[in-house]
Amino acid sequence: MMDKIFLNGMKFYSYHGVFDEENKLGQIFIVDAVLSLDLQEAGATDDLETTINYGEVFHLIEKEMQTPSKLLEHVAERIVRTLFRQYDRLEEATIKITKQNPPIAGHYDGVGVEIHRVR
C-alpha cells in the first residue's frame, strides 16, 4: 500500500465547458488530488527534498485549470501528465474535478470526473 499526499477542495475560477456561456462566464471548479508515493524517507529525515511540495502541486494544478478545455476529462489528464513529469517519486495520482453549476436542469451539488492513473 502506498503512502498518500492529498490536496482537497482547491477552488479555481476557470472556463471549461462545451457551451458558449460556460466559456464566456466561467465558474468555480473544485479539484481534489491524491498523490501516492513512498513517504518513508521523508518521515525519517524531515527533508522536503524527499517528498512532494504541496505548494508546488497547487500551482501546477492552478496553471492547468487556467487553460480552457471543453471536457473536464481533458483537464484531469493534463494535470496528471504534468504531475508525473514534474515528480519522479510520484507513483499514482487521482484527480477529481467538480463543476458545481453546470448548465443542467436539476438539483445537485455538482458533476464532474475522477481519474486514477499509475505511472
Its domain, for residue 7, covers 3-118
**CB count in 10 Å sphere of residue 82:** 16
Average pLDDT over residues 18-36: 91
| Span 87-117, pLDDT tens digits | 999 999 999 999 987 777 788 888 999 999 9
- Number of domains the chain contains: 1
| % of the chain surpassing 70 pLDDT | 99
Given the residues 4, 11, 24, 99, select the one marked as catalytic: 99
Residue corresponding to grid cell 511540495 = 53
Average pLDDT over residues 62-88: 97
pTM flag (> 0.75): yes
Average pLDDT over residues 9-23: 90
- Can you spell out the DSSP letters for 85-102? HH-TT--EEEEEEEESS-
Greater confidence, 108 or 75? 75
Largest CA distance in the chain: 52
Residue corresponding to grid cell 466559456 = 23
Is 4 assigned a catalytic role? Answer: no
User: 46, 42, 39, 36: which is closest to 4 by C-alpha?
Assistant: 36
Residue 20 has pLDDT above 90, yes or no: no
E strands present in the chain? 3-14, 27-37, 92-99, 111-118
Predicted local distance difference test score (pLDDT) of residue 87: 97
Residue 70 has pLDDT above 80, yes or no: yes
Task: Report the CATH number at residue 103.
Answer: 3.30.1130.10
CA gap 34, 95 in Å, rounded: 7
